[in-house]
Structure 1
Amino acid sequence: MKIGFDNDKYLSMQSEHIKERISQFDNKLYLEFGGKLFDDYHASRVLPGFAPDSKLKMLEQLSDHAEIVIVISAGDIEKNKVRGDLGITYDIDVLRLIDAFKERGFFVGSVVITQYSGQAGAMAFKGKLENLGIKVYLHYPIAGYPSNIPFIVSDEGYGKNEYIETTRPLVIVTAPGPGSGKMATCLSQLYHEHKRGIHAGYAKFETFPIWNIPLKHPVNLAYEAATADLNDVNMIDPFHLEAYGETTVNYNRDVEIFPVLSAIFERIFGKCPYQSPTDMGVNMAGNCIIDDEVCREASRQEIIRRYYQALENRLEESSTDEEVFKLELLMKQAGVSTENRRVTTAALERAEATGAPAAAIELEDGRILTGKTSDLLGASAALLLNTLKELAGLPHKLHVLSPSAIEPIQKLKTDYLGSKNPRLHTDEVLIALSSTAAASDVAKLALEQLPKLKGCQVHSSVMLSTVDKKVFKKLGIQLTSEPVYEHKKIY
């Protein structure tokens, strides 16, 4: 994979910049952490070289100075809100986050339940956490929020919230997902700290949009593509431009809320410490791009992938026409179409030639291979085998899996497990290959090529099963598919 981002430089520069921000206040900084702390695969795709756990590694350099506060909304607990990427509810994700942070040596100080107004589910979750030895604090809805600033910044507003007891200079405020109340939690703490004579500070960590690259840079457009369902829009920060005469990029929600934040800061401190939303941020990612064109191309490809995902979601009624239209507009702004994804053309041409579903893969060196549907294998499974043979330097006609090894699996599927499809999926092919490898050096050699698939591009002429999607994801393959069902059955 071509590298466009210096990850080591990022780890060093980012941690030092946060330390500098802490020192600007009374050695107390509340850092609102947006985006994913764990497994930030979007960043790793659009900034090749960015490690998915970079942000966590960066924070590890500050772990002796930091503690974690996890925020969750009482309303999200009550309605069992689910994280789409993990398929678990927000309350369960809080437990997962606590374990994950502790495993990496972080101190998790407490959990804050926001917007609490007597929800039974929230109280039950509070009890569960306290039984596990975790401190829990309650924050309440504030009438007139965010407009009625005199009331918000008063003993009846922020003052009504429970004060979160923290012991370290850096307090990282994170959450299972958006809308949890991270910013309100930080501002409430500033109010309480100020009443106690502590001039604590607030800063925001968001990787995207990157403030010091152009507004229409593909990396920033790819962020808009990733948040198309939220209708976020990148824009020039007008406050920063007015204050410094410098053009920087932020997103609409931060720009829209800044006058309110500025007024709240003035009410608490007497003066706002920041001139713009950009000032509040601490992100150094833009300074660590070392090959701009590599990042541009990676981002263009990400926008195309997001477009295909939206088409598939629309077919399954989990996204809207507006989301698809926005992604089409972003592709035009990035100067790309689906034809810029080489595997798309290859998969569709193979499908047309064979009259059946097909798939194509682009390897790291630019080679493109295809797989077709057969009596024994689905197109994705065939593609996987073809690719492993190619990477191992084995002849295409060589059977690393003999039909006699596949047929018993087919019999198990159809005769005993009731499946109507005898063809092997990708997971079944890999199991068959691994079992064959015990007695076959050829199969073993093919199996050893699996790590080389990470970062490869794949396109399927039809939508894939959940099983195949999960296998490709685990292998680190970046998948798209045509928004077409393989079968026309309606049930």
Structure 2
Amino acid sequence: MKLGFDNEKYQIMQSEHIRQRISQFDNKLYLEFGGKLFDDYHASRVLPGFAPDSKLRMLKQLSDQAEIVIVISAGDIEKNKVRGDLGITYETDVLRLIDAYTNEGFRVGSVTITQYTGQESALLFKHHLEKLGIKVYIHYSIPGYPNNPALIVSDEGYGKNEYIETTRPLVIITAPGPGSGKMATCLSQLYHEHKRGIRAGYAKFETFPIWNIPLKHPVNLAYEAATADLNDVNMIDPFHLEAYNVTTVNYNRDVEIFPVLQTIFEKIYGESPYKSPTDMGVNMAGNCIIDDEVCQNAARQEIIRRYYKSLNALAQGTCPEEETRKIELLMNQAHASVEDRAVVKVSLDLEEKTGAPAAALELHDGRIVHGKTSDLLGPSAALLLNALKALAGIDHDSHLISPQAIEPIQTLKTQYLGSKNPRLHTDETLIALSISAASNEKARAALEQLPNLRGCQAHTSVMLSSVDIQEFMKLSIELTSEPKYEHKKIYH
């Protein structure tokens, strides 16, 4: 993979910049962390070279000064909201993140449930966390928020929220996903700290949009595609342009709320420490792009993947058509099309040739392998085996798994477990391969190639089962699918 981003430079620049921002206040900074702190796969896809845990590594340089507060919206708990990239609910992700940060040596001070309006499910989650020995705080929904500063900055607004007890200079406010109430949590803490005589600071760490690259740069357009469900729109920061006569990029929610934030800052501090939304940010990612063309191409591919994802959701009835049309427009603005994704044509051509679902995968060296539907295997399972053969230098016609070994599994599925599909899914195929590896050297050699599938591009001519999708995710293969089912029926 060609690199477009200097990860080492980023970690050094970013940690130093945060240290400088802490020093501007009374040694207390609430840092709103947008995006994924521990596993930012979007950033690693559009900025090749950016490690998914890059921000975590950077913060390790500040770990002796930092503690983490995880926030989750009561509304997201009530809706059982799911992280699309991991397939787990936000509540489950909170537990995962606590373990992950703790294992990395960070102090996780507490969890805050935001936007609470009496949801019973939120209270159940609170009690569950407390039984695990985790401190939990409640922040309430404020009527008219954020357009009623007089109420917000009062004892009936932020003052009604529980004060989050913290012990370190840098308090990182993070969440399982967007819309969780991170900014409101930070500002509430500023209010409470001010009442205690502490002039705490607030800063925002959003990787995207990148403020110092062009508005319509594919990397910034890819961020819009990733947040199409939130209706985020990148825009020139008018406040920064007016204050400094410098063009920078921000997004609509921060620009729209900034006048309110200024008023809130003025009510808390007596004056606002910032002249623009861009001033609030501390992101140094734009300074660490070392090959702009590589990043542009990677971002275009991400937009195409987001487009297919929205098409699939539209076919399943879980996405409004407007969201798909927006991503299609972004794809056009980035001068990208589905034809730029090489695996699409290969899989569709194979389906047309065989008359059955097919799949294709592009290896890192540019070779494209494919998989077709057979009596024993589905196309995605066949694809994985063929890809592993290609990586291990094994002849395509070699059997890694004996047909005699597959048949008993099919019998188990259909006769004993009630499945109507006798073909092996990807997870079943990999288990069968691992069993064969005990006595078959070729199977063992193929199995050892699994890590080399990470980051490969794949496409299937039909939408896959949830089981197959999860396996591709576990293998970190970037999967897209045509927005159609294999069988024409209402229930799938």
Note the C-alpha offset of 1:397.
Answer: 2.1
| Bigger mean CA offset, 135-144 vs 423-432 | 135-144
2:63 corresponds in structure 1 to 63
- SS for the counterpart of 1:139 is strand
1:133 maps onto 2:123 in alignment = no
C-alpha distance in 2 between matches for 1:377 and 1:7:
41
State the one-letter code of the partner of 2:242. Answer: E
The answer to which of 286-295 and 84-93 deviates more is 84-93
What is the alpha-carbon distance in structure 2 between the residues aligned to residue 263 and residue 52 of structure 1? 36
Residue of structure 2 equivalent to 1:374: 374
Q: Does 2:489 align with 1:489?
A: yes
Deviation digits for residues 212-261 of structure 1 (CA, Å, limit 9, x no counterpart): 11111111111111111111100111111111111111110000000000
Alignment of 1:277-426 (within 5 A): 277-426=277-426
Please give the alpha-carbon distance, in whole angstroms, between the structure 1 residues aligned to 2:372 and 2:130: 55
Aligned pairs for 1:17-166 (under 5 A) are 17-166=17-166
Residue 236 of structure 2: aligned partner? 236
Q: Compared with structure 1, are the counterparts of its residues 408 and 184 closer, same or farther at alpha carbon in structure 2 (3 Å cutoff)?
A: same
Instruction: Report the Cα distance in structure 2 between the residues aligned to 1:129 and 1:466, rounded to whole angstroms.
Output: 29
Cα distance change, pair 12–354 in 1 and its aligned pair in 2 (3 A): same
**Structure 1 residue 120, shift from structure 2 partner:** 4.1
Moved more, 146-155 or 124-133: 124-133
Please tell me whether residue 459 in structure 1 is matched to residue 467 in structure 2.
Answer: no
The match for 1:180 is: 180
Q: Measured at CA, do residues 376 and 140 of structure 1 come closer, stay the same or move farther in structure 2, by a change above 3 Å?
A: closer
The Cα offsets for residues 283-342 of structure 1, whole Å up to 9 and x where unpaired, read as 111111111111111110111111111111101001011011111101110111111111
| Equivalent residue letter for 2:152 | I
Cα displacement string for residues 347-389 of structure 1 (whole angstroms, at most 9, x for unaligned residues): 1111111111111111111111222112222111222222222
Q: Which residue identity lines up with residue 405 of structure 2 in the other structure?
A: A
Q: Distance in 2 between matches of 1:350 and 1:119?
A: 51
Quickly say closer, same or farther: Cα 1:436–1:186, change in 2 above 3 A: same
Q: Please report the RMSD computed on the Cα atoms of aligned residues, expressed in angstroms.
A: 1.8
* Structure 1 residues 268 and 373, CA gap change in structure 2 (3 angstroms): same
Q: Residue 115 of structure 1: SS of its match in structure 2?
A: strand
**Counterpart amino acid of residue 282 in structure 1:** V
Q: Compared with structure 1, are the counterparts of its residues 120 and 443 closer, same or farther at alpha carbon in structure 2 (3 Å cutoff)?
A: closer
CA distance in 1, matches of 2:309, 2:78: 30
Alignment of 1:3-18 (within 5 A): 3-18=3-18
2:247 maps to 247
- Counterpart code for 1:69: V
Give ranges in structure 1 of 5+ residues lacking alignment: none
Alpha-carbon offset, residue 176 of structure 1: 2.8
Displacement of 1:412 after TM fit?
2.3
Structure 2: how far apart are the matches of 1:264 and 1:253? 16
Please give the per-residue CA displacement for 1:64-116, whole angstroms capped at 9, x wherever unaligned. 10111222334444454444444444444333332222222111222223334
Output the TM-score relative to the length of structure 2: 0.95
Distance in 2, matches of 1:458 and 1:198, equals: 53
In 2: Cα distance, 1:129 partner to 1:411 partner: 44
Provide the rounded CA distance (Å) in 1 between the counterparts of 2:162 and 2:410.
Answer: 61
Deviates more, 1:33-42 or 1:115-124: 115-124
Question: For the structure 1 residues 183 and 352, does the alpha-carbon distance in structure 2 shift closer, same or farther, using more than 3 Å as the test?
Answer: same
CA distance in 2, matches of 1:451, 1:101: 24
C-alpha change, 1:393 and 1:235, in structure 2 (3 Å) is: same
Matched residue SS, 1:253: helix
Q: Distance in 2 between matches of 1:367 and 1:311?
A: 27
Q: Secondary structure at the match of 2:229?
A: coil
Secondary structure, aligned partner of 1:70: strand
Give 3-state SS (helix, strand or coil) of 1:178's partner.
coil
Cα deviation, residue 15, structure 1:
1.0
- Where 1:110 maps in the other structure, the secondary structure is strand
Other structure's SS at 1:361 match: strand
Query: Which range moves more in the overlay, 194-203 or 250-259?
Result: 194-203
Separation in 1 of the partners of 2:41 and 2:122?
31
Question: 1:426 offset after TM fit, Å?
Answer: 1.7
Counterparts in 2 of 1:343 and 1:89: CA distance versus 1, 3 Å: closer
Q: Give distance in 2, aligned partners of 1:208 and 1:350.
A: 38
Q: Which 10-residue stretch deviates more, 79-88 or 408-417?
A: 79-88
State the distance in 1 between where 2:490 and 2:120 align.
Answer: 40
Question: Is structure 2 residue 428 aligned with structure 1 residue 428?
Answer: yes
Amino acid aligned to 1:316: Q
Residue 407 of structure 2 aligns to which amino acid in structure 1? E
Worse-matched range after superposition: 142-151 or 333-342: 142-151
CA displacement 1:24-81 (0-9 Å, x = unmatched): 1111101011111222111111111111111112112111101112223344444544
Code of the residue aligned with 2:175 in structure 1: it is A
C-alpha distance in 1, partners of 2:30/2:118? 27
Distance 1:415 1:130, change over 3 A: closer
Distance change in 2, residues 1:270/1:459 (3 Å): same
The one-letter amino acid paired with 1:386 is N
CA shift in 2, pair 1:6/1:417, >3 Å = same
